[in-house]
Amino acid sequence: MEQQGHTLSSIVISSSLTKADSACSTALKMPLNAEVHRLVRIRLVDGKTTGHRNHGSPRRHRPRPSRQGRLRP
C-alpha cells in the first residue's frame, strides 16, 4: 500500500501479559493458561481506520508491530 502512496500506521490500544485461553492455546499450539503477550491495535491507512488487530504470541517471543516506528501514541 505504501508503494501506492498510502500512509500506514497503528494505534496501540493495549499491551499486556496474560494467560492463553482455549482459542489462543490452540492457535499457538501451546498449553492452556500458558503466558502470552497480547497486543491490541487499530490499523490505519491515510489516517482512516481499516481494521482491528488482536495479536497474541508466546511469552518467549516479544510481539512487534509489522512496521515498527510507525505507531501513534
Q: How many domains does the chain have?
A: 1
For residue 39, count other CB atoms closer than 10 A to its CB: 19
* In-domain check, residue 67: no
Grid cell locating 9: 500506521
* In-domain check, residue 65: no
* In-domain check, residue 71: no
* In-domain check, residue 14: yes
Mean pLDDT, 10 residues at a time, the chain of 73 residues: 85 92 89 91 93 82 52 45
**The pLDDT value given to residue 45:** 93
**The pLDDT value given to residue 73:** 43
Q: Are strands 8-19 and 71-72 parallel, antiparallel or unpaired?
A: parallel
Q: Which domain holds residue 42?
A: 2-60
**The pLDDT value given to residue 40:** 92
**The pLDDT value given to residue 71:** 46
For residue 59, count other CB atoms closer than 10 A to its CB: 13
State the residue for C-alpha cell 481494521.
51
